[in-house]
Structure 1
Amino acid sequence: MKSVLLLVLSFCSYRTDGSRVRGDRYFNRSSMGGHQVDLDLDLSAVFRRVDPRFLSVTIDASLAAQERFMLLLGSQKIKFLSEALSPAFLRFGGTRQDFMVFTPQKSRQQKAGLTADESCDAVQLPWWLEQQLKQDWVQQQQILMTEELQRKYHRIQFSELTVDLLHSFSSCTGFDLIFGLNALLRTSDNSWNSSNARTLLQYCESRQYRMSWELGNEPNSYEKKAGIRVDGYQLGLDFTRLRKIMSESKLYRDTGLYGPDVGQPRDHRTDIMKGFLQSGAKAIDACTWHHYYVNGRDTSLEDFLDPEVFDTLALKINEVLETVKLESPGKSVWLGETSSAYGGGAVGLSDTFVAGFMWLDKLGLGAKLGLDVVMRQVLVGSGSYHLIDEDLNPLPDYWLSVLYKRLVGPEVLKIQAVSNFGRSKRVRMYLHCANKKSYSNGAVVLISMNLSKKPARISLPALASSSTVDAFVLQSDQPGEEGLYSRSVKLNGAVLKMVDDKTFPDLSGVRLPPAEHLQLPAYSLAFFVLVDAKATGCR
């Protein structure tokens, strides 16, 4: 039976580097009037394992709409920030991938002076060029957004330079590149015209570029975007054709092929997924789909904190898993593209502190329910849902992602959180083994978020309350509801900001002594590592 005695966290706590800090500076100790949440943890066994690259990222193909912007991937700052997110997949795709045509131009490639033969340290973007590209990109985003609103897309020609820069970037940062091919190149009988893809694969093989492939982006919207309708069964045949082309290559016969990157289940989208799997399931290594909670053009702060909105994800995940189970049992399922709001994100919301709640809950729920990989739209690029802003500075969701990578292992454990009012809705929690690169065997991490304006008191069961805790609590740099709109975030009371282009701020946790309760401030996200949990499932 759990004790009802309130044990307030110690005034004096310790950082993981051993230095003493004031615990009450970082954790609201007046939480007795807030939410009371009791936890039931099962530390005996792992019930799911996700891919070590579970948290992955995308670069939208819109970056290549003018090829010179691909040079931004030569920025040392972007490379440094990206390295901290590996291991991960890097998906290059999106709406404009289905308007991209590979047009070899060796003279342009040599003129740029950036080739894949050079070492990672040797390829550096000159500072003056980086500044010019950042300034020009602000205007380019407006052009891209206008095209998106009007659904007027033009053909994009890309050369070896785009491929070289992508491969160099991914290999230097530890990402596994997935390149999205154009599926709207069709023959007279509406089957896929593979000739351009063959040319691209031949070039990549000649350079010995190891990468995986996709074909098409959101085929459910082809009719709106291009006036072309492709049903799921035909799309499966197209993927089978691509797999045959790959099998003829020594380099690509065993590499990954992923698809169909259909939008979340709704109306005929479910039929596209079924038809695709009936004809193309054997061609793919994982079945991919896309998810966004809300429309970026008419959403609100309330949506970004609404547990009912969050819970819609479980319905969509279960629907996709059921479809895949029926048509192709055992096939891995990925979120091939996802963020908070579609349509490029919600301005003033998707790039602010409040977006972290949707992002962290999606990671927790996705791992729990059966997804193996979740790809965040977007690392850099157009829209309002990026991890790194136009000046190449990290946004709140970037810092959240880095901490997730450092602290959370791929092993999922069972947890149940119950409040005074039944199952906790606004205080949401998930449990994983801790990352073994950061913590010893047996440690677990409690992924926590408080969507409420009231603080919460988390009651730990006896098997966990005897452990010391490393606390990583993320809050806005501004108090109250206004702080939810901030593009800055505090970790344990200190604002996170790069020291310089290649130096992180202190990302260590606050060491807390064993206690029966943890305090979760209002509007906060947290990772509580139970260092001495001795979870048998994590050994």
Structure 2
Amino acid sequence: MTRVVLLLFWVLCDRTDGLHIRGDRDFNGTLSGAPDVVADVDLSAVIRLVDPRFLSVTIDASLASEEKFMYLLGSPKIRTLAKALTPGFLRFGGTRQDFMVFTPRRSHLPDSGFPAGNGSNSLSAPSCDELELPSWLEERLTEEWTRHQPVLLKEDLQRKYRRVKFTEFTVDLLHAFANCSGLDLIFGLNALLRTADNSWNSSNARSLLQYCQSRRYRMNWELGNEPNSYEKKAGVRVDGVQLGLDFTRLREMMSESKLYQDAGLYGPDVGQPREHRVDILEGFLKTGAEAVDACTWHHYYVNGRDTSLDDFLDPEVLDSLAVKTKEVMEKVQLVSPGKTVWLGETSSAYGGGALGLSDTFVAGFMWLDKLGLGATLGLDVVMRQVFVGSGSYHLVDDELDPLPDYWLSVLYKRLVGPEVLKVEAFCAPGRSRRVRLYLHCSNTNSYSRGAVTLMSMNLSEKPVSVSAPALVSSSTVEAFVLQAERPGEEGLYSRSVKLNGDVLKMVDDKTLPDLTGTRLPPAERLRLPAFSLAFFVFTDARAAACRRRHGDLR
């Protein structure tokens, strides 16, 4: 399995005594004095690889809280946006998956005014054309979805969740959307259906698997979401050992099917380590590690209800991911050596995100840093909560328009390849850590082998410069610099983003803008504007490590 690996620097130099560099290279071609950061890179060897689907996305199960909202997946705009995020997984899950019950029926919602789609008696899956939603219906549904979200928020705050019945209709649309978009679907099953002895009641899941098999739906599976919170949400406590047995039961069911015997099964989707959550993970690994293809856990930096702008720019907050990741990795490797570990759900702030922060430009610092640090630490896949769904941490807003983190994700997909190279950074002592850099081989779908991509972040209100002599010897550099629509701290709250000075927006519902870089003039340094995110592609680097094909470097 191919994997992307990123190497992280935590450096910012406000002084550069004793350094002599001739000039900066930035996307405006300006020159200045000595650099703030000097990076030494090794282009001869790859450190690590992650899955090509490393950056993946989720659809929150709240979208199925009323089945009519699943029609939103038929929006031409949504499908266009999803296609740009391939290859990747599409996880359908979240809190409400454990309150969803499959209720087969061969008819759609009465008096809904919605198109019949594939028909109530047809066993054929809807085609990509049939999936397309009329504009009038899209407008109506987005308005209703906006009004419905406060209801979902109230349920989350009160932790009072109603049982949600879903039919073949939800499954049909999910699979068709993933299939037409080119994403690999992971469906989250309800783990709160329990028997008298508190083991998992698998009968409803069996019914769903049988239906999916009858349609020949190729898909992967999960069981339960954040079992550590079952007691608070539903008054049910499931220990890790029992959870592992439940997964083993699901794997046995899957093995009975020719279609699903080799499908992926992932779990236990436990929250980040804290108190008994560690016990649940340890118990699960003892009885269920062999049943899953990857061990999944969830991570959020802060509480969305009491966080601040400063948190989103705080290096210590960003660094906290390393502590939690290492703890999980150690637990997994101790019990199940070699088992891959995923972030099965993650974003900036839990509790649905931080309104005015998680859906604005400033959230990009947490997102890009998580991609970099997560891969460096050995995570194979990172699933962003949420592509579409309730809350404030989505990639696509309630009008189905892309937010800043969406554009950042698309650039990552296009520019960043699966290999990471070694790099060391040198700067004046005693400085803070507000410049964070990662170096990769470039995506070979966009660039020739040997090209490298430097991902850069400047969390400071002042511009900084970076010198990487082994890279800037190449005269060809393409810069992709992301900044808020407005300058300064005020711009960090913007829901729009500029690429090399131009605001990004869709050309129409089926067309993304040209995401082209700016060719930089020859110089010895790169310049990062204040509060900016950037990708610099060195097209002529001829990195030996990037010119070879790589196997698994676990």
Q: Is the 8 A contact 1:37 1:424 kept in 2?
A: no
Select the residue among 13, 17, 25 that pairs with 1:9. 25
1:285 aligned to 290, 293, 310, which one? 293
Distance 2:541 2:293 in 1: 36
User: Matched residues in 1 for 2:376 and 2:513: separation?
Assistant: 31
Match of 1:13 in 2: none
2:108 alignment partner in structure 1:
108
Residue of structure 2 in register with 1:498 after alignment: 506
How far did 1:8 drift? 3.4
What's the C-alpha RMSD, in Å, of the aligned pairs?
1.6
1:325 paired residue among 333, 336, 358: 333
Q: Give the Cα–Cα distance (whole angstroms) in 2 for the partners of residues 252 and 506 of structure 1.
A: 39
**Equivalence for 2:550:** none
Aligned sequence identity (%): 72
Q: 1:17 maps to what in 2?
A: none
CA distance in structure 1 between the aligned counterparts of 2:370 and 2:271, rounded to whole angstroms = 16
Distance in structure 1 (CA, Å) of the matches to 2:473 and 2:37 = 14
Q: Which amino acid aligns with 1:215?
A: L
| Mapped contact 1:31–1:456 kept (Cα < 8 A) | no
Q: Whole-Å Cα distance in 1 between the matches of residues 68 and 44 of structure 2? A: 53
1:69 aligns with 2:69: yes
2:255 corresponds to which residue?
247
Q: CA deviation at 1:417?
A: 2.8
Q: Give the Cα–Cα distance (whole angstroms) in 1 for the partners of residues 115 and 336 of structure 2.
A: 46
Q: Residues 503-522 of structure 1 correspond to what in structure 2 (within 5 A)?
A: 503-522=511-530
Q: Name 2:155's counterpart in structure 1.
A: 147
Cα distance change, pair 318–38 in 1 and its aligned pair in 2 (3 A): same
Q: TM-score, normalization: structure 1? A: 0.94
Q: Distance in 1 between matches of 2:434 and 2:216?
A: 49
| Distance in 2 of aligned mates of 1:121 and 1:431 | 40
SS of match in other structure, 1:144: helix
Matches within 5 A, 1:212-231: 212-231=220-239
Alpha carbons of 1:140 and 1:306: their partners in 2 closer, same or farther (altered >3 Å)?
A: same
- Answer yes or no: is 1:389 the counterpart of 2:374: no
1:488 corresponds in structure 2 to 496
Asked whether the 8 Å contact 2:23–2:32 carries over to 1, the reply is no
**221-230 or 460-469, larger mean C-alpha shift:** 460-469
Which among 106, 116, 134 is matched to residue 142 of structure 2? Answer: 134
Question: Would the aligned equivalents of 2:24 and 2:31 in 1 still touch at CA under 8 Å?
Answer: no
Q: CA deviation at 1:214?
A: 0.1
| Residues 465 and 517, structure 1, Cα contact 8 Å, conserved in 2 | no
Alpha-carbon distance in 1 for matches of 2:258, 2:33: 64
Q: Which residue of 2 aligns with 1:187?
A: 195
Does the alignment pair 1:262 with 2:270?
A: yes
Matched, 1:449 2:452: no
Q: What is the identity, as a one-letter code, of the residue corresponding to 1:76?
A: P
Question: For the residues of structure 2 that align with 1:465 and 1:475, how far apart are their CA atoms?
Answer: 27
Alignment-mate amino acid for residue 22 of structure 2: L
* Counterpart residue number, 2:484: 476
Q: Shift in Å at residue 424 of structure 1?
A: 6.2
The equivalent residue for 2:438 is 430
Name the SS of the counterpart of 1:292 in structure 2: strand
Structure 1 residue identity aligned to 2:290: K
Could you tell me how far 1:418 is from its partner in structure 2?
Answer: 3.2
Does structure 2 conserve the Cα–Cα contact (< 8 Å) formed by 1:109 and 1:160?
no
Structure 1 contact 389–395 (Cα < 8 Å) conserved: yes
The aligned counterpart of 1:37 is 37
Contact persistence 1:417–1:423 (CA under 8 A): no
1:166 aligns with 174
Structure 1 range deviating more: 124-133 or 414-423: 414-423
Distance in 2, Cα, partners of 1:312 & 1:498: 35
Pairwise CA distance, 1:120 = 1.0
Shift of 1:466: 2.6
- For 1:45, the aligned partner's letter is A
What secondary structure sits across from 2:439 in the alignment? strand
Task: Give, in whole Å, the separation in 1 of the partners of 2:395 and 2:31.
Answer: 33
Pair 1:529-2:537 in alignment:
yes
Partner of residue 366 from structure 1, selected from 371, 374, 391: 374
Contact 1:352 1:488 in 2 (8 A): yes
Mapped contact 1:458–1:519 kept (Cα < 8 A): yes
How many angstroms apart in 2 are the aligned matches of 1:360 and 1:393? 20
Task: Give the structure 2 partner of residue 15 of structure 1.
Answer: none
> In structure 1, what residue type is equivalent to 2:90?
L
Give, in angstroms, the shift of residue 218 of structure 1: 0.2
**1:108-146: CA deviation from partner (whole Å, max 9, x where unpaired):** 289852235342123321111111100001111110001
Deviation readout 1:120-177 (Å, 9 max, x if unpaired) = 1233211111111000011111100011001010000000000000000000000000
Q: Does 1:156 align with 2:159?
A: no
The question of whether the paired residues in 2 share the 8 Å contact of 1:57 and 1:375 is answered with yes
Q: In structure 2, do the counterparts of structure 1 residues 459 and 215 end up closer, same or farther at CA, with 3 Å as the change threshold?
A: same
Could you tell me how far 1:4 is from its partner in structure 2? Answer: 1.7
**Contact preservation (8 Å) 2:24, 2:33:** no
Please, which moves more after superposition, 529-538 or 398-407?
Answer: 529-538
Write the deviation string for residues 311-349 of structure 1: whole angstroms up to 9, x where unpaired. Answer: 000111111111111010000100000000000000000
Deviations 1:376-397 (A, max 9, x none): 0000110000000011110000
Q: For structure 2, which runs of at least 5 residues remain unmatched after alignment?
A: 1-17, 119-123, 548-554
- Give the number of equivalent residue pairs: 522
Counterpart CA distance in 2 for 1:124 and 1:463 is 46
8 Å Cα contact 1:443-1:535 kept in structure 2 = yes
Equivalence for 1:275: 283
Quote the Cα distance in structure 2 between the aligned partners of 1:460 and 1:219. Answer: 46
Find the aligned partners of 1:167 and 1:199 in 2 and give their Cα distance.
Answer: 17
Once residues 178 and 306 of structure 1 are traced to their aligned partners in structure 2, the CA distance between those partners, rounded to angstroms, is 33
The residue identity in structure 1 corresponding to 2:71 is L
Q: Which amino acid aligns with 2:322?
A: A
**Residue in structure 2 matched with residue 538 of structure 1 by the alignment:** 546
Instruction: Give 4+ residue runs of structure 1 displaced > 6 Å after superposition.
Output: none
CA contact (8 A) 2:92 2:186 kept: yes
Shift of 1:42: 1.5
Matches of 2:323 and 2:62 in 1, distance apart?
Answer: 31
CA distance in 2, matches of 1:245, 1:462: 54
Instruction: Choose from 384, 387, 394 the match for 1:376.
Output: 384
Partner of 2:316: 308
Any idea what SS the aligned residue of 2:41 has? strand
Which stretch has the larger CA shift, 502-511 or 446-455? 502-511
> How many Å apart are 1:369 and its aligned residue?
1.1
Closer/same/farther in 2, CA of residues 382 and 273 from structure 1, 3 Å limit: same
Per-residue Cα deviation, 1:57-108 (whole angstroms, up to 9, x for no partner): 0000000000000000000110001000011000000000000000001122
Q: Is the 8 A contact 1:120 1:168 kept in 2?
A: yes
Greater shift, 391-400 or 498-507, is seen at 498-507
Output the CA distance in 1 between the equivalents of 2:42 and 2:157: 48
| Cα pair 2:23 2:31 within 8 Å, conserved | no
Q: Counterpart of 2:408? A: 400
- Cα shift at 1:30: 7.2
The equivalent residue for 1:16 is none
- Cα gap change, 1:440/1:424 in structure 2, threshold over 3 Å: closer, same or farther? farther
CA drift of 1:460 comes to 1.2
The one of 232, 238, 243 equivalent to 2:240 is 232
1:241-271 deviation per Cα after TM superposition (whole angstroms, max 9, x unaligned): 0000000001000000000000011111111
Residue of structure 1 equivalent to 2:551: none
Contact map agreement 1:367 1:412 (CA 8 A) in 2: no
Aligned residue in 2 for 1:14: none
Map 1:13-92; keep pairs closer than 5 Å: 23-24=27-28, 29=30, 32=33, 36-92=36-92
